[in-house]
Chains A and B, each alone.
Chain A
């Protein structure tokens, strides 16, 4: 059974600390080149096909900016 996930990032609250990127087992996420209004490079799904919706990124996020969605295929 395959799992497919996706995340939604609250880009205005994201501070670009990268703790989530270090804990992503599938290399889905990265920091964007653009910055938010506070000047932080925010998180985005660089490889959305890899995401399994494991919630690791959201669990370690200090600012609770990540919402995780998951479906069973």
Chain B
């Protein structure tokens, strides 16, 4: 059968969702942010909630998320996305409100905001991209950087006596009474992408059931910050990040 006979609208099984705008993503080649954006766009399209979803974008690489997803957005000060999401959800309880934060935003400068928003049990979705580095500013050490990991500010690798220990923020948040769903996922292969999609969809559904905060961590790569090509970065993540940040649900009620 000729390729021209296959490529017809009736045979289409997968394509870009119209919720993703035509703008070319500014992320580096192979960046996990793009995959997670796509997952969120597909979920919003499948649930038919485009006009009822408000995203809160952080400071970091994903600050420009509002250029790519065709929904309402608000941009928060560094780390303060959960505070803004709290206000948005309380003022407009019929909207689906989610924050999209990186590890430098959520686990460092925004620790207080995320802890208290989760402890209050705000009915929001938090999507936490953990790539163990400050990607936007040039690959400096983040709270989530692994011991021994080389970054711009830890050229000999992170040392516990000098730089402290990596922060498992998702485990901390799972202990809080206000959260209803806490999970850790990844997006390096099709199976992982489908699991992440399922988790984020569940989180969105939870936010309307008034069960509390849903928290989805996505262990990601930062191939520019780690200074390894995308495919090897995915392997490095599987070998080094997954033993310390094990995937799976931590809490589901």
Interface residues of A (CB under 8 A from B): 4-6, 8, 10, 12-13, 15-19, 21-23, 40, 45, 48, 53, 55-56, 58-71, 73
Listed by A's residue number, 26 A-B pairs whose Cβ atoms lie within 8 Å are: A4-B6, A6-B6, A15-B29, A19-B188, A19-B230, A19-B231, A22-B234, A56-B190, A59-B14, A59-B193, A60-B188, A62-B27, A62-B32, A62-B33, A62-B34, A62-B35, A64-B16, A64-B34, A66-B14, A67-B12, A67-B14, A67-B16, A68-B15, A69-B8, A69-B12, A71-B5
- Chain B count of residues within 8 A CB distance of the other chain: 36
The reply on B97 being an interface residue by CB < 8 A is no
Shortest Cβ distance from A69 into B: residue: B11
Is the CB–CB distance between A17 and B29 below 8 Å? Answer: yes
Please give me the residue from chain B that is nearest to A40 by CB atom. B29
Which B-chain residue is minimally distant from A21 (CB atoms)?
B231
A13-B24, A48-B3, A63-B25 as given contacts; A53 in contact with B190, CB under 8 Å? no
- Is B20 an interface residue, CB under 8 A from the partner? yes
Set of chain A residues within 8 Å of B194, measured between Cβ atoms = 59
Residue of B14, B38, B194, B229 with most partner-chain A CB within 10 A = B14
Which of B25, B31, B190 contacts A23, CB < 8 Å? B190
Instruction: Assess A60 versus B190: contact at CB under 8 Å? Given A4-B6, A40-B29.
Output: yes
- CB nearest neighbor in A for B20: A64
Asked whether B189 is an interface residue with its Cβ less than 8 Å from the other chain, the reply is yes
| A16-B16 Cα distance, complex, nearest whole Å | 17
B187 within 8 Å of A (CB atoms): yes
Q: Is B7 interfacial (CB 8 A cutoff)?
A: yes
Contacts of B11 in A (CB 8 A): 69-71
- In the assembled complex, which residues on chain B have CB atoms less than 8 Å from the CB atom of A15? 28-30
Among A21, A59, A68, A71, the residue within 8 A (CB) of B1 is: A71
Judged by a CB distance under 8 angstroms, whether B13 is at the interface is yes
On whether the beta carbons of A63 and B34 are closer than 8 Å, the reply is yes
Per-residue 0/1 for B129-162: is the Cβ within 8 Å of any A Cβ (1 yes, 0 no)? 0000000000000000000000000000000000
Question: Per-residue CB proximity of B179-213 to A under 8 Å, as 1/0?
Answer: 00000000111100110000000000000000000
Query: Which of chain A's residues have a CB closer than 8 A to the CB of B1?
Result: 4, 71, 73
B189: chain A residues at CB < 8 Å are 23, 60
